[in-house]
Amino acid sequence: MKKIVSVALILLLITNIIFSYSYQVKAENTSSGGGLTVSYRSHVQDVGWQGYVSNGSLSGTTNLALRLEGINIKLNNNNINIKYQVHIQNIGWQDWKSNGQMAGTEGQSLRLEAIKIVLENTSDYSIMYRTHVQDIGWQEWRKDGEIAGTEGQSLRLEAIEIKLQKNTPDLQYSSHVQDIGWQNWVASGETAGTEGQSLRMEAIKLKLEDETASQHIKYQVHIQNIGWQDWKQDGEIAGTTGENKRMEAIRIKLEGVTGYKIEYRAHVQDIGWQNWVSNGETAGTEGQCLRVEAVQIRIVKSGNALSIDTTRYPGYKEKIQQLMNAHPNWEFNLLYTGLTLDQAVRGEYAVHSRNLVPSSYSGEWVCSICGTKLYDSGWYCASEKAIAYYMDSRNFLDDTNVFQFLDLNTYSSDSVSLDGIQSKVNGSFLQNYANDINNACINTRVNPYYIIARLIQEQGYSGTTIGKGMNGGDGRTYYNPFNIGASGNGYDAIYSNALATAKSYGWDSMQKAIEGGISFCKKNWLENYQNTLYQNKFDIDSTNGTSLYTHQYMQNLLGAYSEARTLRSMYSNTNKIDSNFTFIIPVYESAGYNASQPSYNSETTPINVKVVANGGLNLRSDANTSSSVIRLVSNGEIILSIQRGINSNWQKVVLNDGTVGFMSGSYLQQVSDVINCNYTAYVKTADGSGCYVRVGPTTKVDRITALADGTSLTVINEGLYNNIDGYNWVRVMLSDGRQAFMPSQYLRR
């Protein structure tokens, strides 16, 4: 009996080997994913290593009760990595293996129980796999790191199939045109319909080539005298034929195509080509009786946030990924500025009226050079630290503040509505102008919520005389709600310039002023490579042809931050927060630190102080008497104070050996600066990158600014702070009068 069973087993094994071999022969001529091939082989109980198979062929055995014990998997492309991890009897999950390495065991008679497989360095493909499991049979297909097999059930894997799935199926579409009928199919990005012939599109079909069961293209059209039809998909006809009805708008969505989005635009009667829209937004018009004459449609990668170089651009990827996970419909694009954060901050700070904070601000928010000098009637010049905080885009990559990076150069009826506009302006000076704002934004393809946020930022909810109406002295009232041209020192100058601007544009009604102001924003900002709130405020992209930092809408340093919160609230209040939004995130080169928020109650500049306490004064680890004592500093000792006003009366100090701590200001007396030299030097570094200067002689304290190679300054103290953090430090006077510390090795006379 045993002999008969053995013969039967051998016959089954031979049959299975022949079956597997037939798969191998077939697989040699099979290619998936445009030439990308996945090959794999299994180590099988009582059989050993089988030959390699490819692209969905079976590896292992079925109906023989033989366990898989090991596996190799590889690709025919060195630029894409394939990684895999197996769960082994009595061991659990083994470490990840990659690119042909063996996962599992040999000679230990241990079964594989589960597997996970992933691809790296590509978003064009997914890896699909399924396993044949003891007592279960073939499981459903898994993909991209999902577990195939079982854990904790002591069930062996017996066979596996692996294949590649291309994530970007080819797109084709065909349009039905007046007097022509159905045109030929065209491919992604090509024109369907006609231009310059005044012929209406009447219907359209779209399809994906080589789509999978989970991949679909869906589309919906707005038809003359009908309105929006139901959604169609995968080659169905949307629109009408034989009824002489024009198509007026279209919406398109992709489903199941990871890492990509659908973009499209319409050529509209009397308008021409509109801006590109995406992912279910409306292309065309509604309620204007205008025909769509042609469309262009394309599938593109859905942003490059995840492929960012985290070494060169640290701190962006993780935060953006969190937002993408929380809001799958949000799209993120990166704006590579080519600037370091220090360069950008230096450029903004170079002109002291360029960035202002309210006069209610104090401490580290206020420029130490300008102090309480007033600009534009009630504003202080912002400090370099304050500018750095608001320019560092990483500080605002959260669910609310990210809206200062929203692409504003579009009007999407899917995310905004007249009701939403009206609800936001109710009770404000704009209450009677919701329709005017909406219509003007539809005509110019501008985000109306941005316009409301801008108007409220400029005028407040109640409005000012400039926004609500100025006496022109010619029998007419003029309006300037966007405060265009409203600049100057003192209210009289601001008012006069605002009125002159309104007169020059003929804004003698609120409707004209709203329409004119929106067109002004559109032309000068949104269509000039400054189409986010952040870029309205900070001119950090030279593409617009202007000098950096010069073409900026406002002086208010907090402007983009404040408007973003207003903008976000409008989407939140109308339950549209998860609409299809595109965010443009500016990134800075080698931004290795996060700019911290300034303090209101402290002053950060270096001064010398003397300890006036009998028996000496404790240097502590924090600004309170409960913190640990670092050391006792003798009465009469002169030290460096770098920050004051902490916890009311505490100061942050640096001792001559570089030790940093805190002392009570009640026992510290300011004395004259310790100066032992006075000569001019300039910055010189080995690689020409410049260097930081700090508020004290140690790398453990705040940076004040970054100085480029060649910057001239005055050295006023040397030899006092040596061998601290590997440097000898000198005290310097910058050209703007500020004092700072820097390593002497980066200076030349």
Token pair for residue 318? 């993780």
Q: What angle do CA 98, 100, 104 make, to 5 degrees?
A: 75
Given a cut of 90, whether residue 212 has pLDDT beyond it is no
Q: Which CATH architecture has domain 607-671?
A: Roll (2.30)
* 66 or 453, higher pLDDT: 66
- 719-723-724-726 Cα dihedral, nearest 10 degrees: 130
DSSP 98-153: ETT-EEE-SSS---EEEEEEEEES-SSEEEEEEEEETTTEE---EETT--EE-SSS
pLDDT for the residue numbered 280: 81
Q: What tens digit of pLDDT does each residue of 435-477 get? A: 999 999 988 889 999 999 889 989 999 999 999 999 999 999 9
Domain 607-671 matches domain 679-748 at the CATH topology level: yes
**CB-based contacts of 417, cutoff 8 Å, min separation 6:** 574
pLDDT for the residue numbered 8: 47
Q: Answer whether CATH 2.30.30.40 is correct for domain 679-748.
A: yes
Q: Are β-strands 232-233 and 379-381 bridged in parallel, bridged antiparallel, or unpaired? A: unpaired
Of the given ranges (1-15, 98-112, 695-709, 727-741), which has the lowest mean pLDDT? 1-15
Token pair for residue 440? 């003007």
Query: What amino acid occupies position 127?
Result: I
Residue keyed to tokens 């590896």:
59
**Percent composition of the chain: helix, strand, coil (DSSP 3-state, to 5):** 20, 35, 45
Residue keyed to tokens 């033989």:
66
Residue 639: strand, helix, or coil: strand
pLDDT for the residue numbered 647: 84
Share of the chain above pLDDT 70, in %: 92
Q: What tens digit of pLDDT does each residue of 356-404 get? A: 998 878 888 999 888 888 887 789 999 999 999 999 999 999 999 999 9
Residue 161: strand, helix, or coil: strand
Of the given ranges (460-474, 545-559, 717-731), which has the lowest mean pLDDT? 545-559
Q: Nearest Cα to 293, choosing from 259, 262, 263, 265?
A: 265
pLDDT for the residue numbered 307: 67
Q: Are β-strands 283-284 and 247-255 bridged in parallel, bridged antiparallel, or unpaired? A: antiparallel
DSSP 560-611: HHHHHHHHHHHHHHTT-TTS--EEEEEEEET--SPPPPPPSS-B---EEEEE
Spans of all domains in the chain: 2-166, 171-301, 417-509, 607-671, 679-748
pTM for the full predicted model: 0.55
